[in-house]
């Protein structure tokens, strides 16, 4: 069945097409699994920390606020935001990198890439209809999932995808907004989670000019010391507000003028954001406690891949039956990518006898 055959019209649906996309995404199995997939901290480390699910919800909220103010389509932005991380493996980016290494070491040169995997989840791996695969989403939502902000020319993208989505072109403004909302969300909530966990402190973060500016705004409220919970909450709020309003100020006229790439910040703030992200990488993402957890996750991915390649009968029926039509490497990778952190660890411990 051709890709375009799936974009059919439902005459009596009271929802707009993008709202329908959003609903189909929310009710998918892949979306529910995000509850137990790592953002930075493993799910079982505490109920407070963000997961891929809560992150996606936060991205959606920020994206909807921005698109509403810019007069763009909120439902489209929401659908893209809620689905943008569906292709992530267990254990965050480390899991994806490890799965990519496993595939390439086996000669499967296309490897693994989470953006394209998100697209594959909603067009192939989710099964909700008798006669075709996927969630039957609109073109604009699929394009936003695939491209995020930029043209998406990759060697592993099939020709049929390039044919319909023109990978040399930018996606919609709504997709660009989701990309920025993703950045705003993880900067603010990673700091919140990091300070709450004790892995990083505001003193550590004062190397960032942007953080110092936000700390000054919080201090003016007189909510207490930097060690207080309320201080941390107010910091996150001010960080999000500062970035959202700065983005709106920069982008409003450019959107009205229909520029090709209008969503962003003034150059000075872009530089401050880049420096803050680098600081977070050094001070928190490479913290020994995080590295240990991610190393354990990486070993679990390697063990599951090796075990399932040697004994594919351990695959669930849905995946095992696909071995008749698809390459074993990709079937195994698709299965592992869809696992939650805790299920991946439990299965790894079971097949290796580590009870």
- The residue ranges of every structural domain in the chain are 175-287
Of 203, 242, 33, the residue nearest 121 (C-alpha): 33
The low-confidence residues of the chain, meaning pLDDT below 50, are 1, 44, 46
Here the tokens at position 72 are: 């763009």
Here the tokens at position 339 are: 């696992």
Q: DSSP string of 47-110? A: SSS-BHHHHHHHHHHHHHHHHHHTT--HHHHHHHHHHTTTT--TTHHHHHHHHHHHHHHTT-TT
State CA 192 to chain mean position distance: 18
- CA-to-CA distance for 92 and 112, rounded, in angstroms? 13
Here the tokens at position 209 are: 């000019």
- CA-to-CA distance for 153 and 168, rounded, in angstroms? 6
Q: Hunting for tokens 């039957």 — which residue is that?
A: 136
Of 271, 345, 291, 341, the residue nearest 51 (C-alpha): 341
* Per-residue pLDDT reduced to its tens digit, 289-321: 889 988 999 999 999 999 999 999 999 999 999
Angle of CA points 41, 233, 287, to nearest 5°: 30
Strands (E), the chain: none
Q: Hunting for tokens 């079982």 — which residue is that?
A: 44
Cβ-contact 155, 104 below 8 angstroms: no
* Per-residue pLDDT reduced to its tens digit, 19-69: 999 999 999 999 999 988 877 755 545 456 788 899 999 999 999 999 999
Here the tokens at position 183 are: 């950045």
Cβ-contact 98, 302 below 8 angstroms: yes
Here the tokens at position 265 are: 């910040």
Q: Hunting for tokens 């699929």 — which residue is that?
A: 142
Here the tokens at position 61 are: 């909220």
- CA-to-CA distance for 179 and 63, rounded, in angstroms? 9
Cβ-contact 21, 77 below 8 angstroms: no
Q: How many CB atoms lie within 10 A of CB 206?
A: 13
DSSP-derived letter for residue 134 is: B
Of 85, 92, 86, 49, the residue nearest 295 (C-alpha): 92
- CA-to-CA distance for 336 and 303, rounded, in angstroms? 11
pLDDT for the residue numbered 48: 60
């Amino acid at each position: 069945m051709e890709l375009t055959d799936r974009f059919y019209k439902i005459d009596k649906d009271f929802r707009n097409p993008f709202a329908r996309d959003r609903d189909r995404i929310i009710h998918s199995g892949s979306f529910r699994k995000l509850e137990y997939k790592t953002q930075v901290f493993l799910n079982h480390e505490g109920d407070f920390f963000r997961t891929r699910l809560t992150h996606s919800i936060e991205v959606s909220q920020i994206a909807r606020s921005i698109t509403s103010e810019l007069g763009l389509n909120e439902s489209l932005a929401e659908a893209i935001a809620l689905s943008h991380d569906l292709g992530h493996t267990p254990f965050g980016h480390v899991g994806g990198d490890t799965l990519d290494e496993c595939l390439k070491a086996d000669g499967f040169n296309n490897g693994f890439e989470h953006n394209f995997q998100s697209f594959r989840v909603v067009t192939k791996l989710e099964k909700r209809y008798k006669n075709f695969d996927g969630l039957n989403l609109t073109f604009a939502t699929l394009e936003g999932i695939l491209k995020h902000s930029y043209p998406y020319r990759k060697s592993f993208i099939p020709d049929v995808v390039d044919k319909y989505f023109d990978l040399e072109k930018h996606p919609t403004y709504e997709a660009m907004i989701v990309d920025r909302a993703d950045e705003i969300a993880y900067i603010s909530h990673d700091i919140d989670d990091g300070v709450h966990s004790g892995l990083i402190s505001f003193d550590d973060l004062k190397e960032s000019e942007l953080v110092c500016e936000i700390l000054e705004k919080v201090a003016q409220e007189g909510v207490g010391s930097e060690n207080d919970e309320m201080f941390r909450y107010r910091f996150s709020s001010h960080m999000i507000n500062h970035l959202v309003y700065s983005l709106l100020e920069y982008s409003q006229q450019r959107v009205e003028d229909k520029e090709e790439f209008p969503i962003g910040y003034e150059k000075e703030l872009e530089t401050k954001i880049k420096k803050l992200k680098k600081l977070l990488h050094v001070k928190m993402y490479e913290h020994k406690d995080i590295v240990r957890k991610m190393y354990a996750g990486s070993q679990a991915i390697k063990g599951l891949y090796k075990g399932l390649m040697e004994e594919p009968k351990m695959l669930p029926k849905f995946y095992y039956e696909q071995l008749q039509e698809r390459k074993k490497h990709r079937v195994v990778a698709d299965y592992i990518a869809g696992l939650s952190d805790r299920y991946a660890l439990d299965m790894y411990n079971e097949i290796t006898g580590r009870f």
